[in-house]
Amino acid sequence: MHYLNLINADIKREEITAAHQARQRWVNQKKKGFLRYRRPFETLATFTASHLDCTGDTVIIGDAREVSTKEKATIQNCLQQFMPWRKGPFSVFGTEIDAEWRSERKWQRLVDHLPDLKGKIIADIGCNNGYYMFRMVPQQPRLVLGFEPSVQHYYCFKALNAMAGCENLNIDLLGVEHLALFPNCFDVIFLMGILYHRPSPIDTLRDINTALTPGGTVVIESQAIPGDAPYALFPEKTYAKVPGTYFVPTGKCLCNWMTKAGFVDVKLFCAHPMSSEEQRRTPWMVFESYQDFIDPEHPDLTVEGYPAPCRVFLTGRKKSENGCFSTKPCIK
Ligand SMILES: C[S@@+](CC[C@H](N)C(=O)[O-])C[C@H]1O[C@@H](n2cnc3c(N)ncnc32)[C@H](O)[C@@H]1O
């Protein structure tokens, strides 16, 4: 966990190390559920890409000409072990991975609203296979730490980055609940696709606030319900067939949550309806997708009869130490 060496903040190092070691003891067991991902990771980690391009919509790791036909087949077979691929697109030594989500669209919506990432310490909470972490690389952050408790996604990212060799990207099998161990640590925290899965969203936002450096920025993307009133939907069982969905807010409701949790300069900069163009079944994700979650006769409703989801994007900042709220210089 060499990432701790890149962090100067006064974080709870012993507790982080203990949590990390406990998760490593767990994941290093010789159990089928871990080996099914560890083995393809170990094979993929024997390949090193000469060519890496994270500037375009597709994250390109390695060129097809760098490997033999046999090696290309091995790589493709190992990549398939990480199915279903939710986030992408990636191109890995010539294998094109068309994931369920067109993640490049989310990145395009937010990239112009980001603070300067150069030299920054960043957390991506629920980073999945690291698609957005790779997209941050061209901006030269000092460290992007992915928090990701899923073993499948953890090994998928590790495999991709073993081939890509980005030393400023790292991942740990931690969850958003570990953020309290990192007070005043991160210049920027990405919290995307997470908040509606939290039973206590305001507590999560407070934890984010605590983990930011004074003046640091949170970038939030969330499923939302349409509307301008400050309400949240609390589904009885599932929302769009997804269990573990707690509060689905309107954009305005989420602004209010952020303000109550202590953020300043809260801005909602994008809201858009979801569509089956952006989330769909592909050869790399062969299960149900967006169109199966929506009432076919009433596309503005989910199969449960709730308002169909939209997505909202917000930024907010932790108060600076001098209490300055705005990005303009504060004159005291
Ligand atoms: C809906 S996906 C969002 C992925 C990505 N952030 C994005 O915006 O596309 C939720 C991710 O959070 C991860 N996750 C699940 N429980 C978590 C937890 N307690 N803390 C952090 N991430 C978690 C899941 O494994 C999954 O990768």
| Domain residue spans of the chain | 2-317
> From CA 129, how far away is CA 110, in angstroms rounded?
19
Q: Could you give the CA distance from residue 8 to residue 6 in angstroms, rounded to a whole number?
A: 7
CA–centroid distance, 5 to ligand 1, in Å, is 25
Residue nearest ligand 1's atom 14 by CA: 126
- Spatial CB neighbours of 106, under 8 Å, sequence gap ≥ 6: 132, 192, 221, 311
For a pocket test of ligand 1, which of 148, 177, 220 has the largest count of ligand atoms closer than 8 A to its C-beta?
148
Which atom of ligand 1 lies closest to the CA of 127? 6
pLDDT value of position 169: 98
Instruction: Report which protein residue has its CA nearest ligand 1's atom 22.
Output: 126
Q: Are 307 and 225 in contact (CB under 8 A)?
A: yes
So what's the pLDDT on residue 328?
46
Distance 88 CA to ligand 1 centre (A): 15
Give the separation between CA 172 and CA 155, rounded to whole angstroms.
10
Q: Could you give the count of Cα atoms lying within 13 Å of 47 in the half-sphere of its Cβ?
A: 32
Q: Is 128 in the pocket of ligand 1 (CB under 6 A)?
A: yes
Which residue out of 177, 197, 223, 278 has the highest number of ligand 1 atoms within 8 Å of its CB and is therefore the one to mutate? 197
191 Cα to the center of ligand 1, angstroms:
9
Cβ(170)–Cβ(52) below 8 Å? no
Residues 40, 30, 83, 193, CA torsion sign: negative
| pLDDT value of residue 325 | 54
Low-confidence residues in the chain, pLDDT < 70: 323-332
Task: Give the pairing type, strands 95-97 and 186-192.
Answer: unpaired
Q: What is the pLDDT of residue 331?
A: 43
Atom of ligand 1 nearest to the CA of 176: 20
Which CATH number is 2-317 given?
Answer: 3.40.50.150
Q: What is the pLDDT of residue 330?
A: 37
What was the pLDDT predicted at 323? 65
Evaluate if pTM is beyond 0.95. Answer: yes
Distance 6 CA to ligand 1 centre (A): 24
